[in-house]
Chains A and B, each alone.
Chain A
């Protein structure tokens, strides 16, 4: 049984302009200890699909489908049951470290409450554990720092404190939403290192959300490429990097800066914008931006096999390349 399996996950938001179709028919699964990346441009539905899994959608949001965690559907659980999983077995690190910590509570209070609540530790034990975790994420002088408030931490330190908070209960699944975006390169590397260490020591599975294919390579086994609320291609890191089959994935890869290119090489950001989620077009949603688009693309594209565990949603055959 997979650790987490999403079945036909749909997420929508009611707005005055109509329904925003943020996530459409999302299906994937992740095994214990595995690391999966979800990549795609901003607005693709990466964050909201995971918010739905965590039961954290905004009030105007709604979700359908299933999110089976060890076989139990998180989406149909009551609050009490869901809270036994959230924070202890599934932890989420949020995108915005500047606002995701409570400015009115010390870092210590925000950290110890997790372990005190889920593991029944007393204050002193929880404190010791929190200090150790801060040390592990390379917060300098953690004994002193832990008593401080979020605004006394730099952006990078806040993000690391968020990571530490997520790891305190040694979760089975860590969902990390752009955990390194706000950070400089060395800290990015440290956090990446920390997460792969965690996989080895406590067999934690990781879902890494990012719009940056560059950070995926070192950390993940598999990649899911999302576009306009749909998965358009999925496969192993090698397959996605070296044999990308969907035109969107190729576009993404071309926009990753590479070390082997001269500094002034032009970055190929994909021209155009994602479709309006209020009124999604029929057929392939990438059609307007796709260099290979043709008449058939007005129909819903099929899911094609690209290799073992490698699929993509497009009319193009492998041989059409």
Chain B
């Protein structure tokens, strides 16, 4: 074991302030777990659905966007050093855990508030959560070499398996949350042994396989091609940006910077979105309180959309090329057309949810009308606000798809500030229809104000260039 190697890896990947915040949140979470009484948080039996849903979500996410926190400099310098493969693998595993698995451990506090049982059981559960974090880490490593379809299969299998305890099945890792701590723990241990074995094997051969990984993972040609001949400027930009979807992997305090762009047709994207919307509708119906206040399922779902949707946009621009885009068109027009495409994309993704909410509103589910306003007025402004924010405060450009642009830092998390606004707006919108409309008007006004003004967009271009964007 080489502590110096681990220190080097951590220091070259995480900035100090970020590590500070990670430690703070961990301590906060643990303290909260011990001192906040369950009565203080009104979740009722929805809690079980919630924690199991989150667990499934994390595992799916990590498997789908999994990658190894290797940087270009590692390939050029570190791997050429005479270090033992095992030590390298273990050190990489630890940094990988800090970048991915730790996000699950940070949930610890929230879980501990609600868990009932003897102290032995509680202790076991605490250990299980760390183990699920390790499982998450292993999955993110293992999935790195898989093709998209294989990844989706693995992610889907883990997701379904995680959800089974909701149907009364007690031999899943999430059955620790439905009162079957022993069975759940056994499953967790078995899965950990399998996936961590695969992950460590993979890490210990990583430098040999690196060039191969890029070719295994995806083919050298696109299956579908887009035609741009004969299109106007706007039509060309809209066609490209409607078929590209990016997602910022800076989703947790582990700061796993993963800037992924996939090409996926809007039609194809709408299928899973519609499925999720139907599941949402089901839970909103079940957890519809009699007193007329918005149900916990509606509130949480809107909050999660408020967190999730804006995260599609900060990196939209990271695959742009200033030398091509802004030497061809004025900055304002180029940005405007991208935003136009992304607003259409967001609207399309919201439509299934809006549809479900209309049905819910007719049935009389409380909060559904507020949700329609939020989904139709507030969230569609998120592409513009997120894009502007990241362009102004933390622009990043991805030149080489397979390696990380830089270390994880707090500044990168700044691009996620709009997420806070949209989450807050989701909560505020739930109080009353009037407040929801006020929120809608407010966000639309801000968005229009940003869109006006030529100078603003030129200034962003200068800023990008000064940051080394080409």
Asked if A and B are interacting partners, one says no
